[in-house]
Amino acid sequence: MDTLKYSFKQSIPTLFGYAFLSLAYSILAATEGLSFFTTVFMSFICYAGSLQFALLAMMSSNTSIFSIILIALILGFRQIFYGLSFIEKFKMNKLKKLYCIFALTDETYSILVSLKPPKNVDIYKAYFQISLLNHSYWVLGGLIGYLVGQMLPFSTQGIDFTMTALFIVLLLENMENSKSYFSHTTGIILSVLCIIFFGPDKFIIPAISVTVLLLIFKGKKEGEI
């Protein structure tokens, strides 16, 4: 019970962020004419906000399956780096481990990577519970959002900004709990530089790759890796 209470407390920022983000996605899906089943099923299986928003645009413009798969791979590529850092940390049974790998979104990763639980909390159970809670928030928000979109039609202009707002909140919370801002400032500076050199549509993978390599080099130099 102590672990569950701790997990829920850690997941609260994502609860509020996902509530608005998944509502926004489902409201947009409803206005685009997607069925209730398709909308909720995408939330359950895809579980990737950026991809789901992109899918709405691609489905409405009759984008080819090949292009959809390619964009999905590009958008999800950054999560390879997340998984690499948790290979040794997900010490649990196979099914839970596979689920935690599936559920390792940007928001969940930002929480798990900074966990410092007290002694009465099982960190491996916390990894699983936080992942499951966050996923539940996303699916429930999608379900409620679709119903709201059907019953209360309104302008959806600017509603997709909720994703950006969530990332900012998680960044600020992570900075508040960090002793050093090196990784945060490095990521921000390199992202800006990559936007300048590669453009806003192609900067994510170069920015993450360079940031990760720089942080690995720093860690090895300081004996942290």
Residues 206, 123, single domain; the answer is no
Q: Are 47 and 21 in contact (CB under 8 A)?
A: no
User: Quick check: 129 pLDDT over 90?
Assistant: yes
Instruction: Give the containing element (helix H, strand E) for 145.
Output: helix 123-151
User: Quick check: 127 pLDDT over 60?
Assistant: yes
Residues 32, 102, single domain; the answer is yes
**Using the 8-state DSSP alphabet, how is residue 121 labeled?**
S
Q: What is the pLDDT of residues 22-68, one digit of tens each?
A: 888 888 888 778 888 888 888 888 888 777 877 777 776 676 777 67
Q: What is the pTM of this model?
A: 0.68
Residue 174: count other Cβ atoms within 10 Å of its Cβ: 16
Residue 101 lies in a domain: yes
Residues 188, 154, single domain; the answer is no
How much is the average pLDDT of 132-141? 93
Q: What is the pLDDT of residues 109-123, one digit of tens each?
A: 888 988 888 888 888
Residue 64 lies in a domain: yes
Instruction: Give the containing element (helix H, strand E) for 149.
Output: helix 123-151
Min mean pLDDT across 92-101, 189-198, 203-212 is at 203-212
Residue 170 lies in a domain: no
Give whole-number Cα distances, 49 to 136, 141, 152, 194, in Å.
14, 12, 22, 22
Residues 154, 198, single domain; the answer is no
Count how many domains the chain has. Answer: 2
Residues 189, 127, single domain; the answer is no
Residue 216 lies in a domain: yes
Residues 154, 188, single domain; the answer is no
Dihedral pair phi/psi, residue 125, rounded to 5°: -65, -35
- What are the structure tokens assigned to 166, written together? 């969530």
Residue 16 lies in a domain: yes
Residues 90, 133, single domain; the answer is yes
What is the pLDDT confidence band of residue 196, given thresholds at 50, 70 and 90?
very high
Residues 78, 143, single domain; the answer is yes
The pLDDT value given to residue 162 = 63
Amino acid letter, residue 11: S
The domain boundary, picked from 129, 159, 189, lies at 159
User: Quick check: 224 pLDDT over 60?
Assistant: no
Residues 155, 100, single domain; the answer is yes
Closest CA to 125 of 101, 90, 85, 98: 90
Return the residue matching tokens 């890796």.
Answer: 225
Return the residue matching tokens 């007290």.
Answer: 118
Report helix, strand or coil for 178: coil
Residue 184: count other Cβ atoms within 10 Å of its Cβ: 14
Residues 97, 200, single domain; the answer is no
Residue 13 lies in a domain: yes
Q: What domain range is 148 assigned to?
A: 2-159
What is the pLDDT confidence band of residue 137, given thresholds at 50, 70 and 90?
very high
Residue 111 lies in a domain: yes
Residues 13, 107, single domain; the answer is yes
Residue 57 lies in a domain: yes
Q: What is the pLDDT of residues 154-183, one digit of tens each?
A: 666 666 566 667 667 767 777 777 777 888
What is the length of the chain? 225
Query: Is the sign of the CA dihedral 102, 105, 107, 112 positive or negative?
Result: positive
Residues 154, 203, single domain; the answer is no
CA-to-CA distance for 103 and 16, rounded, in angstroms? Answer: 18
